[in-house]
Chain A
Amino acid sequence: MSYKTRVDGRALDQTRDIEAKAGVIGRADGSAYFKIGNTVAYAAVYGPRNLHPRFMQDPTKGILRCHYNMMPFSGSGDRVRPGPSRRSKEISLVMEKALLPVLSLGDFPNAVVDVFVEFPQTDAGSRCAGISAASIALADAGLAMKDLVPAVSVGRVEDKILVDLNYAEESYEGEVADIPMAMIPNTGEITLLQMDGKVSKEMLLDALRMGKDALLRIHKVQQEALKAKYRGGGDE
């Protein structure tokens, strides 16, 4: 079967509309808003700050903790029960792994950098929106970073490779694969890679290549968001 036109009429390599803003939460050390289509992420960074309980401390460097959470009314179906779930804990873990390689936490022994990512509204791609938001927030917090980390999902629907699946595409009846990815643009290295669905090796590589171009575009949006704040275009 062939997937002819995308449900929302986008080109195969086109992401949904993106909006990004740095410095949206006054009390946080750094924060960001990242909207891609109908998925909306808010990220706040606190720290480096003291880490409790003490057994979690690392005397050689600071640690990064991510907390992914959907607001109870943010999902497309039933209310999401508040509090951590197996799903949110796993996503928090892969977010940490996606962001850690660009951070230099050697100057902050025994400390923690907490990143909280919240979603008032979701339409697939939330972990990627969360990573994109979190890296703007980390930079906004003034942490030394090797690069910003953009993230996006790529995938296949039937015979087509496409970028940034929305919920309708993710739940399309037929062959679907969803591949969230994140990259360090400076080096081209991949820091997040997951998949559910079925693809050939060739399809996977094609999808990653298409994703890379989209990520470079998202990277620009992230940089612009930071510049806008310090140009005086931000909230604070």
Chain B
Amino acid sequence: MNEIMRSTVGRTLSQGIRDGRRDLLSYRPVELKTGISANAEGSAHVKIGTTEVFVGVKLAVERPYPDTPNKGMLAVNTELLPLSSPEFETGPPAILAIELSRVVDRGIRESGYLDMDKLNITPGEESWSIFIDICTLNSDGNLFDAAALGALVALRDAKFPKREGKKLNYKEHKGKLPLKEMPISVTVLKIGSHLLVDPDREEEEVYDARLTVAVLPDGNLCALQKGGDAPLSFDDIERMVSIAQDKSKELRKLVESVR
């Protein structure tokens, strides 16, 4: 079965056009929306073609980690909801959910996008804890980029809840989160000799290798994750990084255009 699909996908890619309309280095239409949950401090709805993801940001005040008493905290979690695909099951997080969370976490953490120093309230006592929850609504290829985009849009949308003594008033919000240089993640796939972005479900089932690259505004890189069973050559990596740098510009404009 997989072999048949592999040859079909390979044939399509050789023609240089997918879904009858986009080339190998084009994304499906990307739609970004904020404010999909009134109870979250920030939220986003991302559509990449038929793939849909909800992302919500919740804040809490907690004791900082002993080794970083002057910093805030960040936790990224992914729920591969069984509502979004017949392949997802209920139960503890699957390995894909863990990898996805960690890749999104790494892009944000290593870029310094969230200014952790400004999330401390009292050194050693109180810091803001930022929870980013990624929930899949329709899983139809390229969850990695959808999740990363959703996390950025939700963080940009988020505001601090009001502190009332030791408690938080989640009804009133004030002030945006301290954000700096935004990392844009682009996942590039290798299938046979082809390199492509924004895989659909079939392409994802037969890919040989993938590389997720988080790109900063100046084109420098801040996080990488290679996946897939096949190895990559130096030449592959060079080409994949160039593609990611190039595509990140488009996605950055899109994210920045969300009000």
Binding site for B on A (CB under 8 A): 25-28, 38, 40, 42-44, 46, 49, 67, 69, 71-79, 82-84, 114, 116-118, 120-123
Contact = CB atoms under 8 A, between A and B. Distances in A.
A121 B37 contact: yes
Contact of B79 (A38, A42, A76, A82): A82
A79 B181 CA distance: 27
Q: How large is the interface on B (under 10, 10 to 19, 20 to 34, 35 or more residues)?
A: 20 to 34
B56 interface: yes
A77 B84 CA distance: 26
Interface stretch (B9-17, B21-29, B129-137): B129-137
A60 B138 CA distance: 33
B139 A72 contact: no
A118 B56 CA distance: 14
B169 to A, nearest CB: 10
20 contacts: A25-B52, A26-B140, A27-B85, A28-B83, A42-B83, A43-B83, A71-B79, A71-B133, A71-B135, A72-B79, A72-B131, A73-B57, A73-B58, A76-B39, A78-B60, A83-B92, A120-B36, A121-B38, A121-B39, A122-B39
Given A27-B138, A42-B137, A121-B37, A116 B54 contact: no
Interface string B82-123: 111110001010000000000000000000000000000000
Nearest to A44: B83
B83 A71 contact: no
A-B pairs, top 8 by smallest CB distance, nearest first, are A73-B56, A116-B83, A73-B40, A79-B58, A72-B133, A44-B83, A121-B37, A120-B37
A78 B92 CA distance: 21
B37 A71 contact: yes
Given A26-B138, A74-B39, A77-B170, A46 B84 contact: no
B117 to A, nearest CB: 23
Contacts of B133: 71-73, 79, 82
A27 B139 contact: yes
Contacts of B79: 71-72, 82
A116 B137 contact: no
Contacts of A28: 83
A49 B82 CA distance: 14
Interface in B133-170: 133, 135, 137-140, 170
Interface in B162-220: 170-171
Interface string B236-259: 000000000000000000000000
A17 B10 CA distance: 49
B77 A114 contact: no
B102 to A, nearest CB: 16
Given A38-B38, A71-B37, A120-B43, A79 B84 contact: no
Contacts of B90: 67, 84
A79 B40 CA distance: 8
